[in-house]
Amino acid sequence: MALITIAFALILPTNRSDHYPSKRQLTLSKYWKQSAVPKDSAKTASPKKRTQTNDTITIVGVGDLMLGTNYPHKYLIPPNNGKDLMADVTPLIRQADVAFGNLASPVLNKGGKRKYCRDSTHCFAFRTPEAVAQNVIDSGFDVLNIGNNHINDFGKAGIVNTLQFLRKNRIPHAGLDSIPYTIFEKKGIRYGFAAFTPYDTITINMHDRSRVSRIIQHLNQHTDIVIVSVRAGGEGSAYQQLTKQPEHFAGEDRGNIYAFAHFAIDQGADIIFGHGPHVSRAIEVYKKRFIAYSLGNFCTYSGIYRKGVSGIAPIARVMVNPQGEFLMAQLVSTRQLRNGKVVIDAKQQVLKIIKRLTKLAFPKSTLHIDDKGWVSLLTTPQK
């Protein structure tokens, strides 16, 4: 049994899905025991101490990060290994107390067994070389989600090397069945992070509410601020609007992200960052906790469609107190140029879209988004 699964089981009640590994877990179990657990993930012995202070903590969240793939062609790698792709926005990322992103590709230089696809016309397999992925680290990201539909694009080799790469760079990460969460500390604040998907494979299924509850409640008991990432919803421009209903896409049950986000906060989550639709969606503050229902494509050089609404995305700067309660936020509009570079969007296209979608989804909300992207709560609903 994987080391993290053993540690988790000692603390939390288990059911069959928690206690018994899948065939794929068994295949990887030797590696998990040696190196899969981030060093800080085991810090669960002492309960959290809520810091009583008026300090403001800034947590940055962005959407998909896929800076290039050498499969199926090497020309899908950006010039200079992508060192310039996020240069313009790196200062905003580094200014955060904690910066989060969704790593939408395994990190692997070569080899690996490509995943099987029943329909090759709708199959996307990514393999990002380490030199390219290093830009994610250098840009200042502090914690990454690896629990998504691309982590297994190149099988065991891709998963193992991704974990080795992140551990080598001391980047907390979570989202696999054997790494359900991570705990890390910065500037005296202890953070918990967990990630979920609608898939019942090597990631953690958002539909397994019992397990989701145990993970988040555990983090709530042992950390100050709990950040949750979830991949859910249909994909593309037709899926921008938040329906608050279960969504189906490509023959898959992609979940009800609205219900999930509220459930996660009820269990103790403080911030929800959604992704998966490859477009931006509405935002919400529920029980003084911030939700971004989809952060879209942030830096997706190749392999992911990035024209129109798929090529614009926010940098969500969420300001909370040390208890994780929402204070204010800022949505910084970005766009990807034809060469893949991420720049600040002076036209604020994605801000206008998020304002409209938020008004549609929550017409009676007291959440106010001004023309400069600042987000605050009013005492009465805006007209």
pLDDT tens for each residue of 191-233:
999 999 999 889 999 999 999 999 999 999 999 999 999 999 9
Distance from C-alpha of 354 to C-alpha of 281, rounded to nearest angstrom? 6
- Band (pLDDT 50/70/90 cuts) for residue 117 is confident
Mean pLDDT value of segment 307-330 = 98
User: For position 274, what pLDDT does the model report?
Assistant: 98
Both ends of the chain: CA-CA distance in Å?
A: 55
263 HSE (CA, 13 A, CB side): 19
Report, in angstroms and rounded to the nearest whole number, the Rg of the chain calculated over CA atoms: 19
CA distance 227 to 225: 7
Angle at CA of residue 65, ends 238 and 186, nearest 5°: 125
| For range 156-161, the mean pLDDT | 98
Is the pLDDT higher at 383 or at 315? 315
pLDDT digits over 38-91, tens only? 333 433 334 554 554 559 999 999 999 999 999 989 999 999 999 999 999 999
CATH homologous superfamily of 3-351: Metallo-dependent phosphatases (3.60.21.10)
Strands 143-145 and 98-103: parallel
* Angle at CA of residue 77, ends 76 and 80, nearest 5°: 145
Q: If phi over 0 gives left and psi between -120 and 50 gives alpha, with beta otherwise, what is residue 148?
A: beta
Q: How much is the pTM?
A: 0.87
341 CB neighbour count, 10 Å cutoff: 18
